[in-house]
Structure 1
Amino acid sequence: MSSPPSSGARSQAPVPPDANEGCVGPTSEEAGKASTCAGCPNQKVCASGEPRQPDPALVIVQDKLAQVKHKLVVLSGKGGVGKTTFACQLAFCLAQQYGLQVGLLDVDICGPSVPRVMGLTGQEVHQSAAGWSPVYVDDNLGVMSIGFMLPNADDAVIWRGPRKNGLIKQFLTDVDWGELDYLIIDTPPGTSDEHLSIIQYLKDGCGIDGAVVVTTPQEVAMADVRKELNFCKKTGLQVVGVVENMSGLNVPLTALNFLEKPVARHSGNGAGIEETDKSMETDKPVIKDKTAEVLEALRKVDPSLLDCVVQAEVFPAFGSGPQGMAAAFEVPFLGKLPLDPDLLRACEEGVSLEEKAPQSPAVPALHTIVRSIVAATINKRSKTDD
């Protein structure tokens, strides 16, 4: 967060989004010279006293995305929370359930998993006079990712920041999306170069509706996500809402396996300390599968029990959880998406959850979250236009 300039400062100007913490402002007398300026990418320009020149690419981005009504970035400060999974299912849902024209841009340069989750592995980008053409899942759902440009899907992308930023700029200036209702942008974890580039080009070039922030309930994830929320606050990026992913395991009872509880055998070592019986290394107990017996017993007691869904907290929530975190940051809480094996299978097969398992317990939860996003973007924009 910027602090007011000291005495002798000129009039203030907006702090660049990639500025260091404690930036004195580009028009301060101390600009480029203060201790907080050390290592800042803007230090040389600020110290020169010359005005910052606008990036000419901003005009190109504005022109290229002029027909894109809504732009959303999917963020999370933590890896492994299901951010890409959510971004892809959001795109599927908007295209298939709402019938909208949707684009999905993958700016995770070093870990592009969108092609696999969207069922587009092995596809290639084609170029025309209008620019790069997205790879299409359906007529109304296009995807762009560096994953389409790698000779081998397992090739490592070992690039420094400037080269990654250059590709992101190219995605925004060269891809011919045409007319879209939504452009969903899936980002890597963290608050680094890729995020700054996307936000700078969209905010300054053509506008952005905001960010959907994804987290899981445990503190090890929320600690990083709080940094992401602070990043949004510092860069002036509106948070459309927070999604709690993997909020609990929801599985139909009939999909479970019931196993006989194994009994470990131990023997004393003469010192009052128990140790595992060596015989277990060669004489391992056989764990009996009792699924059929349990289901039959439940059927006899009450057949309706077999229609139940089993819930379990795989990642117990810390404190008041993501909902409390959203309240503390005064941003909307969009809902909870359960951990669902059907959702994993849908991602592995590159299809939507609705298509893979329409009866999945996660489907209504996903629909609730998507409705909230639509209400916060399309419906809000309609009221503004009126």
Structure 2
Amino acid sequence: MSDCNSESSCSSCSSAAGCNTDEKKQHAKKRLDERLSKIKYKIMVMSGKGGVGKSTVSVSLASALHALGYSVGILDADIHGPNVPKMFGMTQKGVVSGENGLVPFEAADGLKVMSVAFLLENDDDAIIWRAPVKHGMIEQFVSDVDWGELDFIIIDLPPGTGDEPLSVAHIIGGVDGAVIVTTPQEVALLDSRKSVTFARKLNIPILGIVENMSGMVCPHCGETVDLFKSGGGEKAASEMDVNFLGKVPIDPMVVVQGDSGKPYVLEVKDTPTALAFRKIAENVAKQTIAK
């Protein structure tokens, strides 16, 4: 990662000895603002608890937006469980510095990806970091990565309303929207409501709630089986006065495609699940662009 500690790395310093602390902060802020100015819409994908398919929704949303013709990047801010590269079939290790900063890896015909997973020598390594280190890493993933000109950056967050969501909100300063993922179960719904409250307290626009794993369409008869109930996410959205982005039915191929590194929405076209993901992406694009 770059640091403003020499005349060569910070040509605007008045002293050849390098930057003082205030200058470092000013130059870091300028670099961050320059990066963010090239990204039109910054979208956080949140969940109140784990196991609801948040990363699947993040990858599907990014891929569907990319398929709609938008330039898209995805920032994997789930520091302790960085699964986004796996879901894109990316096995690269290490990052490369280019003329304008760290070079993000590309998947799916140009969709840009950055994740702490690229920095791990072994995928089994645990990341044991406290909040300040995590904050610093997220800040560098925004300011030091050469994202270039993007229509959307999708930020995949860990479950809950703790360090990483707070860091993203603080670093970006003007998040354009939050997508909140839940399942129909009451336990998940209770926690998803906390994510709505979090976004409101930080003045982040709520694009809506996604009800993931909302029934399963039988491949034989076409009937929908409500394995984890259905309709809870829509009810929560109504009660909390936020948009309901849609129900995403369970499809075993979502797991198959995710494990194989081929995003479901790019490989499967006409299933209820694929159509639901595309409709959600269209809704997100419509809301953000209309602002």
How far, CA to CA, are the matches of 1:373 and 1:233 in structure 2?
Answer: 18
- 1:205-224 equivalences under 5 Å are 207-224=174-191
Q: Contact 1:123–1:135 at 8 Å: present in 2 too?
A: no
Unaligned runs of 5+ in 1: 1-54, 254-307, 382-386
Q: Contact 1:74–1:213 at 8 Å: present in 2 too?
A: yes
How far, CA to CA, are the matches of 1:355 and 1:194 in structure 2?
Answer: 29
Alignment partner, residue 92 of structure 2: 122
The yes-or-no answer on 1:324 pairing with 2:235 is: yes
Alpha-carbon RMSD across the aligned residues, in angstroms, is 1.5
How far, CA to CA, are the matches of 1:222 and 1:348 in structure 2?
Answer: 27
Aligned counterpart in structure 2 of residue 106 of structure 1, from 26, 51, 76? 76
The yes-or-no answer on 1:76 pairing with 2:43 is: no
What secondary structure, in the 3-state scheme, does the structure 1 residue paired with 2:181 have?
Answer: strand
Cα gap change, 1:351 to 1:123, in 2 (>3 Å): farther
Q: Contact 2:269–2:275 at 8 Å: present in 1 too?
A: no
User: Cα offset for 1:345?
Assistant: 1.1
Q: Contact 1:342–1:360 at 8 Å: present in 2 too?
A: no
Alignment partner, residue 223 of structure 2: 310
Q: Which moved more, 1:115-124 or 1:212-221?
A: 115-124
The yes-or-no answer on 1:180 pairing with 2:150 is: yes
Structure 1 length as normaliser, TM-score? 0.66
Cα gap change, 1:354 to 1:110, in 2 (>3 Å): closer
User: Cα offset for 1:213?
Assistant: 0.5
The yes-or-no answer on 1:191 pairing with 2:161 is: yes
Alignment partner, residue 60 of structure 2: 89
User: Cα offset for 1:64?
Assistant: 1.3
How far, CA to CA, are the matches of 2:218 and 2:95 in structure 1?
Answer: 38
Q: Contact 1:133–1:175 at 8 Å: present in 2 too?
A: yes
Cα gap change, 1:209 to 1:356, in 2 (>3 Å): same
How far, CA to CA, are the matches of 1:138 and 1:323 in structure 2?
Answer: 31
How far, CA to CA, are the matches of 2:177 and 2:267 in structure 1?
Answer: 29
CA-to-aligned-CA distance 1:72-115 (integer Å, 9 cap, x gap):
0000111010000000011111112x121110000111110001
Aligned counterpart in structure 2 of residue 167 of structure 1, from 118, 133, 137? 137
Counterpart of 1:152, as a letter, is N
The yes-or-no answer on 1:239 pairing with 2:206 is: yes
Alignment partner, residue 347 of structure 1: 258
How far, CA to CA, are the matches of 1:131 and 1:377 in structure 2?
Answer: 28
User: Cα offset for 1:58?
Assistant: 4.0
- 1:16-165 equivalences under 5 Å are 56=26, 57-96=28-67, 98-165=68-135
User: Cα offset for 1:122?
Assistant: 3.4
Counterpart of 2:171, as a letter, is Y
CA-to-aligned-CA distance 1:305-361 (integer Å, 9 cap, x gap):
xxx4232111014xx611111112111001000111011111111112234332333
CA-to-aligned-CA distance 1:157-176 (integer Å, 9 cap, x gap):
01111111110111111010
Alignment partner, residue 362 of structure 1: 273
Counterpart of 2:196, as a letter, is L
Aligned counterpart in structure 2 of residue 252 of structure 1, from 214, 219, 225? 219
Q: Contact 2:265–2:278 at 8 Å: present in 1 too?
A: no
Counterpart of 2:288, as a letter, is T
What secondary structure, in the 3-state scheme, does the structure 2 residue paired with 1:252 have?
Answer: coil
User: Cα offset for 1:133?
Assistant: 0.7
How far, CA to CA, are the matches of 2:239 and 2:30 in structure 1?
Answer: 37
Structure 2 length as normaliser, TM-score? 0.87
How far, CA to CA, are the matches of 2:58 and 2:140 in structure 1?
Answer: 21
Q: Contact 2:245–2:280 at 8 Å: present in 1 too?
A: yes
Alignment partner, residue 225 of structure 1: 192
How far, CA to CA, are the matches of 1:138 and 1:103 in structure 2?
Answer: 11
What secondary structure, in the 3-state scheme, does the structure 2 residue paired with 1:334 have?
Answer: strand
Q: Which structure exhibits the higher relative contact order, with contacts defined as CA atoms closer than 8 Å and separated by 6 or more residues?
A: 2
Counterpart of 2:248, as a letter, is L
- 1:269-308 equivalences under 5 Å are 308=221
Question: Identity percentage over the alignment?
Answer: 44
Choose 1 or 2 for highest CA Rg.
Answer: 1
How far, CA to CA, are the matches of 2:105 and 2:282 in structure 1?
Answer: 26
How far, CA to CA, are the matches of 2:109 and 2:270 in structure 1?
Answer: 26
Counterpart of 1:164, as a letter, is K
Counterpart of 1:92, as a letter, is S
How far, CA to CA, are the matches of 1:110 and 1:66 in structure 2?
Answer: 28
Unaligned runs of 5+ in 2: 1-24
User: Cα offset for 1:366?
Assistant: 1.3
